[in-house]
Amino acid sequence: MKTFLAFASVTAFSCSFATAAPPSNYLNWKTFKANGVNLGGWLHQEAVIDPKWWNQYAPGTPDEWDFCAKLKSQCGPVLEQRYASYITKKDIDTMAAAGINVMRVPTGYNAWVTVPGSQLYNGNQARFLRAISDYAIKKYGIHVILDIHSLPGGLNGMGLGEKEGNYGWFQNQTALEYSYKAVDAAIEFIQGSDVPQGFTLAPINEPVDNRDITKFGTPEALSDQGAAWVLRYFQGVISRVEKVNPKIPTMLQGGFRPVDYWAKYFAASTNLVFDVHNYYFAGRPTTSQNLAEFICSDAKKIVSTASPKFPVFVGEWSIQAATNNTLASRARNLNTGLRAWAAYTQGSAYWTWKYFGNEPVDGEGTQGDYWNYSNFVKMDIIDPSSGATSLPSRNPSHIIGKSQQTRIMSQHQGNICPTFGAFPIEQYLLRKWDSTSSLPINQQRDQLIQAFVREDDISAFTSSILDDISNDKHELIQTVIVPWRSQKLRRIAEKYSPGNNLYEKLVVLRTFYGGVNDDVKFRRWIYDAAAAFEQDNPLGELFGDTEDHWWRILDDASLFDTGDQGWENIYNRFPELASPEVCRIFNDGDIAEVKEGVSAVVTSRESEEDDYEDAIAHVSVSGC
């Protein structure tokens, strides 16, 4: 068969993410767009996040309070080990590679102040936070939201607010005074940093004083008396921040009362941002099928109930539905949320980066399948532009990925993602798929892709089948095609579709990713090659127009680094690169053309293997 690829196997660059300088200015939440995650289960514990770890030490305990009460003197050593190992610099590297620019870090009040009678552990939380936040801010420019997730006495009757059943923070002057001590310590932590401009302070999370659990998540969860107490606390916090450094933003989470309820109490000049939370696993008739509609509705509702004076941020959300959860729907619902929050608010932080809950959900899978953002990164399903389309036309390219990815995608931000099932390889998979096979999905897919690459004629798989895809084919699209590769790679692959004229177009595939120094080598090679070509061809550009480089210079490690598997493994994720033509058979005419091409170039010496490779590559792009 004919092969198309002309590539450069050069020692080349290889950071899988871009290193950003620490921010020089304080964050303006009115203009900033967040693509964030929460770091739940690290410095503030919840039993549901990592039950295997939890049950190893204190099975049967519902919250961190009872966890420590049961472990007694061993609670400190156990938690210190947790702080040291659960979130590491490697996690931050992965976040940066995935385009994360905000991390919201829940801490208990016990990280900042010792309260008499509290069973919560006061240890080295701040030291571990310093190490991770410095690394994230200074190396990648990731913004850190320091969240005080619990308050003395109990903030909402849940373990996340202090202890199950505790609502004692409300109308409690002593608890309020200790809360302010925690706030003062957190402000001192931020101001004492080398990069205070890298922080926002969030002094409260989900205040609720209504003990009727059915009201949780609704405005009725916080009584008028409770709201007045929360407002008093808000005003005290803002006063304290402004005295130390008014440039530090304060993030206010007012339970589940709308933003405009709180906004009217603050001057427009106040440096604050509101945090709202949206969950779908209870309280509403949500399913994986209708979840996107609820997300879009919530996004629009935020705008309609938010004061234009202040920015709004979605500080927590997830994609578990109340009933009928399906694994195949995760990509669509996740990307709909990312797209919606970016379009209507200042962005979001998913709950949470790591989540290993093993409780079954209604439908398919467990909690961890729907709450673990780091797993979504590994699955390579994050692409906000593929979310539901009943949103403003603003392009959320700021949350697609690292700086290089943003640059690449911005060059074709008007493009619509190719419809699943439109590519020849996708039609091939749909038609050849054996649903009765015992092979794992990945293995059968790889075998079919390899067979596709070997096909001499793929014309049978180039006609549109989009109008007559049956229900079972829709299911195959969700389980076989959607998880296979990102929309970003599909956009590139679209450029290699049959019918696009690639004759004499040079494509460079970087095959070595060995370190930061290789960035310079590769870019220098590209520059020198283009400059040399331009000298001989003043009217030509070796790699085409600059706006074409995103699909002709294939140097994105997140897409094209095959590691130790050999560069040929790229065909398993990008088979279009093998040949863009529908007919790939070399006939007698092709052979004659190759020989003629070699003879024309080689006149003073014997022809060599490289000469034939060049001629074959030249002829192969023309098809049969």
Q: Map tokens 């993602």 to a residue.
A: 417
The two three-digit tokens of residue 392, written as one number: 């403003």
Could you tell me if 357 and 320 are in contact, meaning their C-beta atoms sit under 8 angstroms apart?
Answer: no
Q: How far apart are CA 128 and CA 131, in angstroms?
A: 5
Work out the mean pLDDT of the chain and round it to a whole number: 85
Which of the pair, 500 or 335, is modelled with greater confidence?
335
pLDDT at 529: 77
Q: How far apart are CA 73 and CA 361, in angstroms?
A: 36
pLDDT at residue 614 is higher than 90: no
**pLDDT band (50, 70, 90) for residue 392:** very low
Q: How far apart are CA 436 and CA 371, in angstroms?
A: 31
pLDDT, tens digit (0-9, with 9 covering 90-100), for 426-469? 999 999 999 899 999 999 999 999 999 888 888 888 765 454 55
Could you tell me if 352 and 95 are in contact, meaning their C-beta atoms sit under 8 angstroms apart?
Answer: no
- CA proximity to 113, closest of 159, 45, 181: 181
The two three-digit tokens of residue 189, written as one number: 């932590």
Could you tell me if 16 and 561 are in contact, meaning their C-beta atoms sit under 8 angstroms apart?
Answer: yes
- CA proximity to 333, closest of 285, 378, 374, 371: 371
pLDDT at residue 581 is higher than 80: no
pLDDT at residue 279 is higher than 70: yes
pLDDT at 297: 92
Could you tell me if 175 and 162 are in contact, meaning their C-beta atoms sit under 8 angstroms apart?
Answer: no
421 sits in the region (left: phi over 0; alpha: psi -120 to 50; else beta) called left
Q: Map tokens 């204190």 to a residue.
A: 58
Cis peptide before 352 (omega within 30 of 0): yes
Q: Is 273 helix (H, G, I), strand (E, B) or coil?
A: strand
Which range has the worst mean pLDDT, 233-237, 277-281, 306-310?
A: 306-310
- CA proximity to 418, closest of 519, 353, 470, 493: 493
Q: Map tokens 């020849």 to a residue.
A: 424
- CA proximity to 274, closest of 213, 216, 184, 348: 348
pLDDT at 411: 35
- The backbone torsions φ and ψ at residue 345, rounded to the nearest 5 degrees and listed phi first, read -130, -165
- CA proximity to 473, closest of 419, 440, 431: 431
Region 274-288: mean pLDDT is 95
Q: How far apart are CA 179 and CA 232, in angstroms?
A: 12
pLDDT at 521: 75
Q: How far apart are CA 382 and CA 562, in angstroms?
A: 20
Q: How far apart are CA 424 and CA 295, in angstroms?
A: 33
Portion of the chain with pLDDT greater than 90, in percent: 57
pLDDT, tens digit (0-9, with 9 covering 90-100), for 261-270? 999 999 999 9
Q: How far apart are CA 208 and CA 186, in angstroms?
A: 23
Q: Is 93 exposed, middle or buried (0-12, 13-18, 19+ CB in 10 A)?
A: middle
Region 69-83: mean pLDDT is 98
pLDDT at 486: 83
Which range has the worst mean pLDDT, 144-148, 168-172, 480-484?
A: 480-484
Region 328-355: mean pLDDT is 96
Q: How far apart are CA 223 and CA 484, in angstroms?
A: 48
Q: Which amino acid is at 78?
A: V
pLDDT at residue 10 is higher than 60: no
Q: What is the DSSP secondary-structure string of 70-135? A: HHGGGHHHHHHHHHHHSS-HHHHHHHHHTT--EEEEEE-GGGT---TT--S--SSHHHHHHHHHHH
- CA proximity to 278, closest of 227, 318, 310: 318
Output DSSP code: residue 583: B
pLDDT at 558: 82
Q: Is 517 helix (H, G, I), strand (E, B) or coil?
A: helix
Q: How far apart are CA 341 and CA 347, in angstroms?
A: 5
pLDDT at residue 377 is higher than 80: yes
Q: What angle do CA 75, 79, 80 make, to 5 degrees?
A: 115
